[in-house]
Amino acid sequence: MSRTSLRPSGAARLAVPLAALLVAAAACGGSGGAHRHAVPVAASSAPNTSDEGGTIATAKVGNLGKVLVDGEGRTVYLFEKDQGGKSSCTGACAAVWPPVTSTGTPHAGSDAKTSKLGTTTRSDGKKQVTYGGHPLYYYTPDNAVKGSAKGQGLNQFGAGWFVVSSAGTKVGKGGS
C-alpha cells in the first residue's frame, strides 16, 4: 500500500490563512455613511495595486468631500504610523491595507497636484505611490468599489487610517 502525502500544496497552505485574514478584516468593517452610495466598478475583491504609472485624482466620497482616489475611483488612505515617507505596513498589515504601487511615474488626475506625487521603495523592492510624503494604501474591505471608504478613521496595526485631501493631509471623520 502506498503512502499518500496529506501536506497541502504551497498555494493551498497560503489560501486558508489568507481567506481567514480577509474574513477577519471584513469583520472589522468601518462606520459612517461614506460607503452607502458605492458604485461597483470591478468584480475583484482586491484592487490591482499596480498600473504602470498610476493615476491619483480626487473624487467626492460620501460625506468626506473630495478626497484622493486612484484612476479607477477607488479610495486611497494614509497610515499615521508611517514616518519619513516610508511605509510601516508590511506582512499582515499589507494584506488588509495593500499599498498603492506603481512600476512607473505616478500621474496627477483631476484636482491632484503633480508636485505632491512621488514614490518610496518598500522593503520588498516595489515602488509605493506617495502623496504629500504619505505612502498610499487601499483597504481590502472596500472591495475595489468606487466611492467606498470603509477604512476611514479606523485604528488598526498600531495607528489611524484616513482618506487624504488634495492638500496631502488626512481628512477627519466629518470632512477636512
Residues pairing with 56 in the sheet: 70, 108
Mean per-residue pLDDT over the chain, rounded:
78
- pLDDT higher at 68 or 34: 68
Measured distance CA(109)–CA(57) in Å, rounded: 4
- Indicate whether 45 pLDDT > 50: no
Measured distance CA(162)–CA(175) in Å, rounded: 11
Mean pLDDT check: name the lowest of 15-24, 119-128, 154-163.
15-24
Enclosing H/E stretch for 159 = strand 159-163
**Residues contacting 125, CB < 8 A, separation 6+:** none
Cβ-contact 114, 108 below 8 angstroms: yes
Q: What percent of the chain has pLDDT over 70?
A: 68
Indicate the pTM of the whole model: 0.72
- Indicate whether 38 pLDDT > 80: no
Cβ-contact 85, 78 below 8 angstroms: no
pLDDT of residue 2: 40
- Indicate whether 11 pLDDT > 60: no
Taking only the tens place, the pLDDT of each residue in 134-149 is: 999 999 999 999 999 9
Q: Which three cell numbers mark 100?
A: 498603492
